[in-house]
Structure 1
């Protein structure tokens, strides 16, 4: 932020940084030595955090989410966002709620429920108009109130007006309860992701259930009904002693015998045995849902527990029924029923119990690739960036996302510069990031809250917004992980270079706020919600903050979500914060597996058979889209789930055959010639190609290189392609007992890489018996050549891709690395 007396700071042209400027403010008396504001801005408007500060009022260039939140008075900020149900907070009723396997909507007639067995697929959840060839956002989307679900049945309270707002009364990690209160009458409904049950509680009356379409009643036993509407089967469970009136008509009602509760269940089939099994769980209500996790470093595994808090309204039941997504069902040893449901994520088998456990392998991240290849002209490519007049470039306007892309380019370049011994270039890259971060990390300008280039805390929602932002990140709370992941990753790189910068008394405190805004591990935090952008049951993030579209929440760039969680791992590891590191490992590991399951569907098991593609660029609550938010060009459609490419990206190459297939689909849909005429992501696309055919990627680089992504550089592209050409494909069959590692395989030779963020030498143990000593603050590599290596097939379930073959071209490797080599 700047004013007439303070020139713009850019470390590309000056050694002055925001940090030294703040020291000057202390010397001049504007700030006290403790960091408190001593003049100008009101003390309540600016919060000093270490050497930096944030604002507590909305700045001139800041946007904000709606001021009215539909929640009961006993709830307060911080409020969740970015989940399947958060549309309830944004409007008096709701848009479509894609609960899975159920879909629901709170309407002026009541709670509408349906079981979509033909999910909206095809080219899009809805039409977006013609392809665009610029970064302007598509504006042809319909109003959020259009395209409601077609209900099978609607449940309502006879004395609660349909105009009564449905206010969120409680929520868990993947469940929500809303309440409608009209005088002395009220109705509460609890919906739980994965659950076939809807739990209902009333005061001042009973329940009405109206059926849409032809209904047949195939079981009637006073308080329990088994009904079929179209092809969907439901159980209606009133309390024992109650009855359903109106059976045989298009609606039924129950006074609930004064007990004030009932449940409705979606049944996998219409049979008395199934109905009876559901009846045994129908009166044991889910009142809370909680996820916990543990990173087991020795086994390099993430163990995740999903727990239901239960309340037996009748009897002493201690179990519920839930349906598991594919990424859960493949990774649990708990017993599953033969029953299952369809969903847009694939088949969802049912499970009984009060919880279940999954285990996923963690296969490491690296802050950067090692120095193991002879990359031609690398020094010249580094120098070409170092010589730029301004390293923080302007693209699509200033803001948190595009500044983040600036940081990505520089944080990838700095370690490459160190590897070639160009400390001056590394310093300039670090200084440019430091100056820009410190500018944004100070909210005060000339004694007032700055107009722009700062962060501010919105206490209405409980979120940290930047000013300016874009893509609805402030007004709709979209994409915070996409944006802030780049910032946290840049801060991690500065922490690697200068640990004192990351101290909480310097700028680490503000970085921690960014972390907690999008990935807070503390559900009792009074400033930020628990895991804002990550949906624990879905196993991945949602980019949409409100879900205010008919197709529900969506996420386009799974790879930018993965980047955001890799940033947590690096930040936690480099600052010694094990809680943040382990949270990052949990989030990263789940997001990676979900990406391979639902975006890439590398096992060819989850995308619907009617889907015309083998890949989805966008995952929605309702279905999929082979497009981006900004155009419908195949180059963008594929690159958006590759970028940014870095030491966290190895999962894209765990299965080189799947990577090759995705490449072929890209070419087929882009005219076959591989010219990539759009030109926005050429380098990113060829970096991805190096996972399945590094020789071909290297040939492109040597003969036809052209720059592409704003966050890329020629130096990084060359370093990436030549390194993979040297070491081969990522080997998913070997793990290690440290956070920062990777293993590669070229034929019968494995290359092992580990980074040590600590201050003492570390010996890393790999699961195949290899050990590697790593000096503090350094990367080490070693290689082993075996007489033979077992085929990768069957080493892990298909989703991981560890059954990979050798892609379509593991030829032309240029070397095997250097045993025990140390580099920055």
Structure 2
């Protein structure tokens, strides 16, 4: 395998920028060196010189595209200054006199509760930073790094160079040819602090501080601040995370704290990531390089976006936060880096066929499959996008047919994939279609025929190529020779590198072209030349690309590609949860009436798409394609059900009228039984272009059997998933390699995964699939005993009963206690009931019980068995926003009235949707005191309270909640 990887790398590192017309080989494949169709275009001579607006000092190699700042380099509308740039928290607009600055805190919301609507934190200029006398005819780009850019303005006499970046409250400037100037948009400058080189001022309710070199001063004249900079050329400006209600003392304190880092100019940023297979986590580190212009400080101030601060693994944010179109930004001061830790929950080639083995449903599935044998791809157009959609359709059919033993349909689908990929991956001189062409000036690989601006605007490469790569991953399982470096593996790798080059040393393509490293998600537009910045609507097609990298990298043994896919997938799933779905109800501004946006813009979001105003498609564009790599959509089954209900409400229907198959498949992630019933009632539906009835029925029927995704358990292999239904877990492990594997799940379950098989254990024991070349008897997985299940069943499942603890000795197994309406914890699950958890009264009570609901068990004789307390509480905040339920479990070893062990768990942020949610021990310990102890006539007490919020919540009692003790 190592030899194959080395050969692959050798093949793809061939020099691509050949000047000669024709085709350059990559293994058995090839690409054209002459585009048979349109190339990227824009103002001036960009089509032939993409570095037209790049200075001589800028980095060499391929120019970045698809970024938040692309419009100042790739000009298409404003050919002098580009469009506004939204960096969070600040916005910027280049202009003749300098660089305009905006801190937009007041959103504009259009549309009502029904139909198309959007919100934007539009660019609203507070002031312009410039140089006295500057009259720059255009803006150029002098430097860039992973999430910063340096715009350059000059007129031959005066120059202004800025460094701005995502998450930077500071903007750093270099000025020559005149005094530094800050000119406010309206009225005289409102100065609230002036102390030598530092001046604090307010514009439109926003507090800023400007820092000149030591020894310099600022003068104020009307609407203009001016400084000679004491003969030096540097200064910085920062926006403070204050509000109009911030006290003068707190504002001054923040200004003083920021002043410590005002002269540590950020000169570079870089991300690094690590996928730890053993505990299935992705650790991402964001690093800042700074140059100390004065003093010795080397840290800076960073404003973290929600998907970052939710998973922050180091640092303590300030209590203040910034307003942004991405929700509240939390602030770290004095950092040279910060890290996040995210759990990767795994992906699958396809959901397993646990319910398709016999009976009428098995016959129905085979009939659906057989109907596809003649044309598995059903391609509707010949361009890269629709070719990709057809390939994706065929790949799903191949996976299902293989699982269920339908070799004829499987081989027909694989044949289509092989022939079409081989055709596209082979370019001949003079050929005009079904090929890829490398443009060495732009550093991009373009497929022809192109579509949706994938050629002239470099739009959507990750969308289009993700389908190609995913289909190639399926083919690689069955035909590893086709996928090796000597054949077509090198062409697949080029598609990966074009859309999201994972190798910094490879200068032929920009690093992670389509992925905004700081924002945590892709941008679809190559140039981003819009007043609202860049945009993306189909987040799920971006995830299709990320999943494709995981599948391809795993099947071919390329860990660099696999790990890049895991990083992109895990990060983007977190970003989608916040910015497309606002699952925590903290991102969309108050007054925006939707639970999802079809499109994310740099400065907002829109309940709309580029192609449709139908709610089924506005919301549905973020659901397709439905694959085993899209299980993240089911991480919160309650949200799935709520999102489905909103779509129906918006459409004014009882069932979806457009893309019903996509919606039933999505609903199956939240309620498989309901989705199956809807499909059976609507089985004559017309499939979405990338779907088939065979896949739709397979997906829904099997999820109805498997249940919902259980995110509390992970595995040490990337191709895994865990499902739970009625309290019983099913563990799924897919092995797409040629060697047998043992997969270990985090709760201790072990599954033997033979080469080329998908196996399940637990509630369903099943094995299927024959790739690569394994056609013998079906092996049986060897699971370990299934632990007491947790998860999110609907309605809440009755926890598995265990023997009742008594005062006479050990129960012989880990006891489970159930909260009762009378305030006791009992060993027998009583009838379902409800207890009211009082409001936190708007005060933060994190870690400190406040008006708790208390449940107690006494007279217990139990022996500590190791491990930790487990719990599964059904909680509901109704429509209340920002409640956070918390539990504390205390142990009194001898019934003496003194708590020997106290465990406080992190609170659970409930959603504002009626219906039970599950608060489990997966939230993690907040604190623990004392050592675990044996109980002799001991007492256990559980306190449940609201750590946050202004409204009461409800706790399910009886068989709705359970506390599992680490005792025998």
Do these two structures clear the TM 0.5 threshold for a shared fold by scoring above it?
yes
Change in Cα spacing, 1:798 to 1:259, as seen in structure 2 (3 Å) is farther
Deviation at 1:80, TM superposition (A): 0.9
Verify: 1:197 aligned to 2:170, yes or no.
yes
Deviation at 1:73, TM superposition (A): 2.3
**Corresponding residue for residue 630 of structure 2:** 649
Please state whether the residue corresponding to 1:743 is helix, strand or coil: strand
Deviation at 1:185, TM superposition (A): 3.3
Verify: 1:582 aligned to 2:525, yes or no.
no
Q: CA RMSD in A?
A: 2.4
C-alpha distance in 2 between matches for 1:480 and 1:101: 28
What does the per-residue CA deviation read over 1:423-470, in whole Å, with 9 as the maximum and x for residues that have no partner?
1211111111111111111121xxx23111210011121011111111
* Counterpart selection for 2:345 from 363, 366, 385: 363
Please state whether the residue corresponding to 2:301 is helix, strand or coil: strand
Computing the radius of gyration from Cα coordinates, the structure with the larger value is 2
What does the per-residue CA deviation read over 1:65-124, in whole Å, with 9 as the maximum and x for residues that have no partner?
642431112444411111111111113322010111011110223201011001344349
Change in Cα spacing, 1:72 to 1:718, as seen in structure 2 (3 Å) is same
Verify: 1:57 aligned to 2:45, yes or no.
no
Deviation at 1:241, TM superposition (A): 1.0
* Counterpart selection for 1:257 from 230, 235, 250: 230
What does the per-residue CA deviation read over 1:238-262, in whole Å, with 9 as the maximum and x for residues that have no partner?
11111222x1411122121221000
Change in Cα spacing, 1:86 to 1:664, as seen in structure 2 (3 Å) is same
Larger CA deviation: 41-50 vs 631-640: 41-50
**Corresponding residue for residue 7 of structure 2:** none
C-alpha distance in 2 between matches for 1:524 and 1:288: 17
**Corresponding residue for residue 414 of structure 2:** 430
Equivalent residues of 2:38, 2:456 under 8 A apart: no
Larger CA deviation: 786-795 vs 753-762: 786-795
C-alpha distance in 2 between matches for 1:320 and 1:729: 43
Verify: 1:405 aligned to 2:389, yes or no.
yes
Equivalent residues of 1:656, 1:805 under 8 A apart: no
C-alpha distance in 2 between matches for 1:792 and 1:601: 23
* Counterpart selection for 2:296 from 316, 323, 334: 316
**Corresponding residue for residue 134 of structure 2:** 160
Deviation at 1:796, TM superposition (A): 8.6
* Counterpart selection for 1:759 from 719, 738, 741: 738
Deviation at 1:64, TM superposition (A): 5.3
Change in Cα spacing, 1:420 to 1:341, as seen in structure 2 (3 Å) is same
Change in Cα spacing, 1:469 to 1:383, as seen in structure 2 (3 Å) is same
**Corresponding residue for residue 259 of structure 2:** 279
C-alpha distance in 1 between matches for 2:579 and 2:909: 10
C-alpha distance in 1 between matches for 2:98 and 2:321: 27
C-alpha distance in 2 between matches for 1:203 and 1:354: 28
**Corresponding residue for residue 628 of structure 1:** 609
Spell out the pairing of 1:384-403 with structure 2 (5 A cutoff): 384-388=371-375, 391-395=376-380, 397-403=381-387
Change in Cα spacing, 1:298 to 1:177, as seen in structure 2 (3 Å) is same
Change in Cα spacing, 1:62 to 1:185, as seen in structure 2 (3 Å) is closer
C-alpha distance in 2 between matches for 1:184 and 1:778: 69
C-alpha distance in 2 between matches for 1:435 and 1:103: 48
**Corresponding residue for residue 334 of structure 1:** 315
* Counterpart selection for 1:207 from 163, 180, 188: 180
C-alpha distance in 2 between matches for 1:723 and 1:61: 45
Verify: 1:496 aligned to 2:484, yes or no.
no
What does the per-residue CA deviation read over 1:204-250, in whole Å, with 9 as the maximum and x for residues that have no partner?
333111111233111112321100011111101111111222x1411
C-alpha distance in 2 between matches for 1:77 and 1:310: 23
Q: Structure 1: which 5+ runs fail to align? A: 1-33, 36-40, 125-129, 132-140, 142-146, 807-824
Deviation at 1:43, TM superposition (A): 4.8
Deviation at 1:184, TM superposition (A): 4.8
Deviation at 1:337, TM superposition (A): 0.9
Verify: 1:736 aligned to 2:724, yes or no.
no
C-alpha distance in 1 between matches for 2:370 and 2:729: 33
Please state whether the residue corresponding to 2:216 is helix, strand or coil: coil
Change in Cα spacing, 1:257 to 1:61, as seen in structure 2 (3 Å) is closer
**Corresponding residue for residue 183 of structure 1:** 156
Please state whether the residue corresponding to 2:642 is helix, strand or coil: helix
**Corresponding residue for residue 688 of structure 1:** 666
Instruction: Judging by fraction of residues, say which structure has more strand.
Output: 2
C-alpha distance in 1 between matches for 2:584 and 2:430: 52
Equivalent residues of 1:187, 1:201 under 8 A apart: yes
C-alpha distance in 1 between matches for 2:201 and 2:193: 7
C-alpha distance in 2 between matches for 1:45 and 1:804: 60
What does the per-residue CA deviation read over 1:631-663, in whole Å, with 9 as the maximum and x for residues that have no partner?
111010111011011101111111111111101
* Counterpart selection for 2:98 from 110, 130, 141: 110
Larger CA deviation: 320-329 vs 72-81: 72-81
* Counterpart selection for 1:514 from 465, 486, 495: 495
**Corresponding residue for residue 291 of structure 1:** 271
Spell out the pairing of 1:764-775 with structure 2 (5 A cutoff): 764-775=743-754
Change in Cα spacing, 1:181 to 1:109, as seen in structure 2 (3 Å) is closer
* Counterpart selection for 1:94 from 74, 82, 88: 82
C-alpha distance in 2 between matches for 1:719 and 1:286: 52
Verify: 1:73 aligned to 2:81, yes or no.
no
Change in Cα spacing, 1:277 to 1:656, as seen in structure 2 (3 Å) is same
Deviation at 1:169, TM superposition (A): 1.2
* Counterpart selection for 2:759 from 780, 785, 810: 780
C-alpha distance in 2 between matches for 1:781 and 1:472: 43
* Counterpart selection for 1:228 from 202, 222, 228: 202
C-alpha distance in 1 between matches for 2:377 and 2:689: 11
Please state whether the residue corresponding to 1:386 is helix, strand or coil: coil
Deviation at 1:805, TM superposition (A): 4.6
Deviation at 1:275, TM superposition (A): 1.1
* Counterpart selection for 1:379 from 366, 371, 387: 366
C-alpha distance in 1 between matches for 2:371 and 2:205: 64
Change in Cα spacing, 1:484 to 1:804, as seen in structure 2 (3 Å) is farther
What does the per-residue CA deviation read over 1:567-600, in whole Å, with 9 as the maximum and x for residues that have no partner?
0000100110001000000000011111111111
Greater relative contact order structure (CA < 8 Å, 6+ sep): 1
Q: TM-score w.r.t. structure 1 length?
A: 0.86
Equivalent residues of 1:112, 1:153 under 8 A apart: yes
**Corresponding residue for residue 509 of structure 2:** 528
**Corresponding residue for residue 823 of structure 2:** none
**Corresponding residue for residue 698 of structure 1:** 676
Please state whether the residue corresponding to 1:276 is helix, strand or coil: helix
Q: TM-score w.r.t. structure 2 length?
A: 0.74
C-alpha distance in 2 between matches for 1:221 and 1:109: 27
Equivalent residues of 1:295, 1:582 under 8 A apart: yes
Equivalent residues of 2:107, 2:122 under 8 A apart: no
**Corresponding residue for residue 523 of structure 2:** 542
Deviation at 1:612, TM superposition (A): 1.5
Larger CA deviation: 606-615 vs 504-513: 606-615
Equivalent residues of 2:377, 2:413 under 8 A apart: no
Equivalent residues of 2:719, 2:734 under 8 A apart: yes
Please state whether the residue corresponding to 1:282 is helix, strand or coil: coil
What does the per-residue CA deviation read over 1:761-801, in whole Å, with 9 as the maximum and x for residues that have no partner?
21111111111000011111101373268427789986999
